Amino acid sequence: MKYLGLLLSCLLSCVVFAQQAYNITSPYDPATVPMSEEKRGEVIKFLMTESSQYPGTEREILVYVPQQYRDTAPACLLVCMDGILYDATTVLDNLISSGEMPVTIGIFINPGVVYDEDRNVVRYNRCKEFDSTDDTFAQFIEQEVLPKVRSLKTKDGQSINISSDPNDCAITGASSGGIAAFTAAWNRPDMFSRVYTTVGTFVAMRGGHEYPAIVRKTEPKPLRIYMQDGWYDVWNPIFGEWFEYNLLMESAFNFAGYEAFHHWNRGNHSIKYGTLDFPDAMRWLWKGYPAKVRKGTSNNGMLQEILDPESDWQEIALPFDVDGCLFASSSDAIVMADQSNIYKVYATGKYKQEGELEALEVLLGDGITAKGTTLYKNGKPVADQLYGLQSVVELADGRFVALCLPGAQSTKNVWVINQGHGALAVAPDYRLCVTGERNTHHLISTIINKKGEMLYSEPFYHLHDLSNAVQDPTQGMAFDTKGNLYVATPMGVQVVDHNGRVRAILSLPAGGVDALAFSGQYLYARCGNKLYLRKMKAEGHNPSNGAITYKSQGQG
C-alpha cells in the first residue's frame, strides 16, 4: 500500500507537470519563417554610453529597418525592451512584406548597466527603468533614444525618418519590459497608441500593483492593448502572483472601455508563449490601420457624472508666460498673473489685462493680493499681521479664509487656519476647508463652525501617485457644486468624493497638472507653461458667490 501511494503521488506530479508544459505543437505561422537574405531588413547596432535620465548607464540599442523603407515618408515605429525578443525581425520582415503591418522601424532597447573603472558591474538598472511607473523611461525614449536613432544612416545612405504620430507607434516588452511598455504608453499616449505586453510584472515592485485601480478611475486614453500571460506565471511570489495581477489588469481594461485583447495559456514566466503570440499580436494591434485608435467609454459613474462627452481638453494659446496659480472669476473666466501683470482669461480664449503687480506683491484671487503680512482687496488693505500667508478664499459676505503659519490671528473678517500647506479650498456649504499637507499623499480636512473657528483637522483626503514621489499640492484645488474636490497633481486632475477617496482622474495632453481653477462649467488647468480648458457637465463652485447646500454621499 505504501508503494501504491508513492506511485499515485508520482503519477499526479507528472500530470501537473504535463499541464504546465509548453504546447510544442502550437499552430504553424508563416510569419515566423525567415525570409531569404536579400528580403530581410537591416539591423543597425550602437552603444549608448551617456544618459541624462539614467546617469552612468551603458546599453546596446538595435535598430531594424525593413527592406520596404524609404526615407521620403515617415515610417511607423515599434519599440521593444530587452533587445530583439519574439524573433521580432523575422516576423516584421514577413508581416511588412505581406502588408499585414505598415512599414515599421523597430528600436530594441536593452536596459542600462553601470560599470566601475575596472569594468565591473556595480548596478543593473533594469528594474529601475522598467518597473517604475512614472514617465522617466518614456522621456528617455523621446529625448535621448529617438534623436540618436534619427541621426543614423542605413547602408544605402537613407536617413531614419520615424513618424511622431502616436497612432503610428507601438511598444512592447516581456516581464518588467511588459509593464515598461504599458507605462510608457499610459503616461505618454501622445507617443504610443498600441501596446503588446507579455508576462507583465503588474505587481508590487515599484507601484505596478496600483495600476488596476488607476485604470478604473482614469478617463480612458486612446490605447489598444494586447496582453499575454500564463496561468503559472510567477517569478518571485514576494511581489505577488503575476497572473492574478494580469487578470486584474484585463478586468480593469474591460471596465474602463479599452480595446484590449488577452490570451491566457498554461505557461509560466517565460518568453515562449509571447513569442508564439507575437505575429497575431502585431496583426491585431495594427488591424484597420491607418484608422485611428480611439478612446473607449468607461463604466466609471463619477466620470459619467462630471464629464461632458462632447468636450475634451483644448489648449488656450496666450502671448504671455503662463505661470503660478489660477483663480475662478465671474462669467466662466479665471484670473492669473505673469511676473508683473494680472490677466483675466475667458472660456472663449480671449483675455484682457486687469492690472499690474507691484514689487513683492502676490496675486491670491480675483482682486485679492498680498504684500508682506497685509491682505488687499481691490487695492485696499483688509487685514494685517497674516504671517506666512499662503492662500486665501473669499466668501460671499466679505469674509476671508486664510492659510497662514502659526502666529497669525483670526479677526472678524478673516478666519485663519494654520493646519496645512500651499493650496486651500472651502466647501460649497462653508462648513469645512481643505489644505495641502507637505510630503505626503494626503490633504487635510478642517471643520469650520459658525464662529469661524477651525476644528478637528486631520489628514482625510488620500491622493494617488504613480510618480514614485510624494505629493506636495501647492496651487490647485476646487470644489464642484456637489461637494466633490478637484486637485491638481502630477497624475492629472484627481477628483475626490466626500469621504476622501479618489473616484476619477482626468489626464491632460501635457501630463501633470500644476494649477487649476473651476469657473462655471469650465475647468482650467495649467501644465507647465501651457493652459488648458475643458467644458464639464459638473459645475465649479466659487465661494465668493455664496454658500450652497449639497446632497451628502453618506458613509459610502
Sorted by where each starts, the structural domains of the chain and their CATH numbers stand as 20-285 (3.40.50.1820), 301-545 (2.120.10.30)
Q: Which residues contact 486 (CB under 8 A, 6 or more apart)?
A: 477, 478, 479, 480, 493, 494, 495, 496, 516, 518, 523, 540
459 exposed, middle or buried (CB, 10 Å; 0-12, 13-18, 19+)? Answer: middle
What pLDDT does 22 receive? 54
What pLDDT does 26 receive? 64
Angle at 443 (CA atoms; ends 441, 447), nearest 5 degrees: 160
What pLDDT does 472 receive? 54
Taking 70 as the pLDDT cut, the residues of the chain under it are: 1-26, 466-475
In whole angstroms, give the CA distance from residue 379 to residue 548.
29
First to last CA, the chain: 59
State how far Cα 345 lies from the chain centre. Answer: 27
- Cβ(320)–Cβ(329) below 8 Å: no
- Cβ(91)–Cβ(145) below 8 Å: no
CA nearest neighbour of 502 among 456, 457, 441: 441
What pLDDT does 6 receive? 44
Question: pTM value?
Answer: 0.91
In whole angstroms, give the CA distance from residue 515 to residue 522.
14
What pLDDT does 3 receive? 46
